[in-house]
Structure 1
Amino acid sequence: MISQFFEYEFLQNAFFSGILIGLIAPLLGVFIVVRRLSLIADALSHVTLAGIAASLLLEKKVAMLTGLNPIYMGMAFSVGGSFFIEKLRSVYKHYQELAIPIILSGGIGIGVIFISLADGFNTDLFSYLFGSVSAVTRTDLWIVAGVSVFVLLVIYFLFKELFLLSFDEEHAQASGVKAKWLHFVFIFTVALVIAASMRIVGILLVSSLMTLPVAASIRIAKGFKQAIFFSVLFGEASVIIGLFLALQLDLAPGGTIVVLSVLILAASIFWSKFKRSPAQ
């Protein structure tokens, strides 16, 4: 395995991309879960699917667009979807959760139309849906690296504001936090991470990497920062072990990573109950 890693560039791309995604997806996921926006990743992933399908369609129909990396169109659709969610949240002020299923439904509908126009599923689209180790290019790696740097900078400079906004939005606004602007920055960042993660985990499974490690961490963590630490730890473990098993057993990496995340979640639930049982 070690010799293969140094011999094949696609393995290097996949593992380095996976390590970065295993860091940034759960990191953002903690804020998503605390804000009770877990379904937002699903909504944006389906919008991203529409962008990927549109890119593959254009590549077939327009000769000059042949070779265009679909990740760019997927990223554009994901960012656009994130802005639409925020706009709908302001339209439905008393029913803000409606914004997510509206965008999710629209993303699925548009995606299905583009897929049908592109003559159905093909190998490229399948790899975007469920992830593929061999499909990760050096360009994809650089995109993931750029998005990772952006995410880390956002979290570093806006940690206090995001923390306040996550737990008490009214107090955050009273403290001078520009909530609307921060909402846009946060959801824009989530959109970028979802689009960047699709090569490894797959569009339909990327939301799992944002929520399952967080769900596991909050069972055993004793504070917010500890929850972040365990979320990243569980995310990295799922991605690295999942990619290794996927390569050795010829499995879809996205599914393998998600199943490992579920097993870690089950173990954390068992562990938390086991630790509490003597006191009971």
Structure 2
Amino acid sequence: MTRLFEALQFEFMRYALAAAIFTGLAAPAVGTFLVQRRLALLGDGLGHVALTGVALGLLANIAPTLTAIVVAALGAVLIELLRMYGRTSADVALAMLFYGGIAGGVLLTNLAGESAASLNAFLFGAITTVGTGDLVLVGVLGLVVVVVSLGLSPQLFAVCQDEEHAKVSGVPVRAYSILIAVLAAVTITVAMQTVGLLLVSALMVVPVAASQQLTRSFRTTHLAAMGIGLFAAVGGLFGSYEIDTAPGPTIVILALAVFAVASLIGAVLTRTRSRRRPVDSL
């Protein structure tokens, strides 16, 4: 504990902690809806598209985070439109995002006179380099994502659970579907410097999968996933400081460890309930 308090004496660690908190809450908040829609890999696809946005920012000498937000949001809208109106299946559309995003990112980076190695900070995260401007942007976007996800949770859940029933009930399914995709795109740019574009999808999906092992209702799963994401982000940050490892991968490994523990606990709870049922029915 002493070393943790010592770490917070450094300004870069205080900034990193704030960024980890926003990321840990925002990523599972949106990831819950993606998992519910069986679009767990959407985060990966949009992460690759955001890479093109980063390279475009380097080429145009604009803040890469801003261009990443715009390009990822456009990619999110495009894939939703393809899913709604096109003949292309969701997995094929995601594959095109994967390939096009990487190719576009590397190509534009080369045109900008940079090497592909300059993208490493965005690919794998560099949370300890977060500055004041970055923290303000991450904080505002993260707060927007959390507030919208919680505030519109009933409507978004209805769209994710059963689109046809939601349409009959008068819910604007297309608008909410696009909103979920755009929120995912914004979340990816929020987490870009924390865990990196290649690992952000893990922080969106793994805490949700872990909470599903222990909870039954959607709302409980949603809140528990945010709690697990927060624990993984903050714990992984301090863990990386303690053992001198990269923060992004450490955060993801911790999230996976929580999933493993949750799976074991969930299995024990399921067996316990199944054994008690005959007794309870008497």
Instruction: Flag whether TM exceeds 0.5 (same fold).
Output: yes
Q: CA separation in 1, counterparts of 2:269 and 2:81?
A: 44
Q: Deviations over 1:117-163 (max 9, x none)?
A: 334234x5211111123211111111111112221332244222111
Q: Deviations over 1:241-264 (max 9, x none)?
A: 100011222211110011111111
**1:20-31 alignment runs, 5 A limit:** 20-31=22-33
Of residues 91, 95, 99, the one that matches 2:93 is: 99
1:97–1:177 distance in 2 versus 1, CA, 3 Å = farther
State the AA in 1 paired with 2:189: A
Q: CA separation in 2, counterparts of 1:4 and 1:276?
A: 41
Secondary structure of the corresponding residue to residue 80 of structure 1: helix
How many residue pairs match? The answer is 270
Amino-acid identity (%): 33
Secondary structure of the corresponding residue to residue 197 of structure 2: coil
1:52–1:27 distance in 2 versus 1, CA, 3 Å = same
Aligned twin of 2:5? 2
Q: CA separation in 2, counterparts of 1:96 and 1:113?
A: 26
Q: CA separation in 1, counterparts of 2:108 and 2:242?
A: 34
Shift of 1:94: 7.3
Of residues 217, 222, 230, the one that matches 1:228 is: 222
Q: CA separation in 2, counterparts of 1:161 and 1:33?
A: 16
Shift of 1:93: 5.0
State the AA in 1 paired with 2:54: I
Secondary structure of the corresponding residue to residue 134 of structure 1: helix
Of residues 39, 42, 60, the one that matches 2:44 is: 42
Shift of 1:235: 0.7
Q: Does 1:242 align with 2:245?
A: no
Aligned twin of 1:161? 155
Aligned twin of 2:128? 134
Q: CA separation in 2, counterparts of 1:233 and 1:260?
A: 13
Asked whether the 8 Å contact 1:128–1:199 carries over to 2, the reply is yes
**1:30-69 alignment runs, 5 A limit:** 30-58=32-60, 65=61, 68-69=62-63
Q: Deviations over 1:142-191 (max 9, x none)?
A: 11111122213322442221111111110101111111111122211111
Aligned twin of 1:269? 263
Secondary structure of the corresponding residue to residue 220 of structure 1: coil
Shift of 1:204: 0.4
Structure 1, gaps ≥5 residues long: 59-64
Q: CA separation in 2, counterparts of 1:27 and 1:155?
A: 6
Aligned twin of 1:14? 16
Secondary structure of the corresponding residue to residue 68 of structure 2: helix
Q: Does 1:173 align with 2:145?
A: no
Per the normalisation by structure 2, the TM-score is 0.90
Per the normalisation by structure 1, the TM-score is 0.90
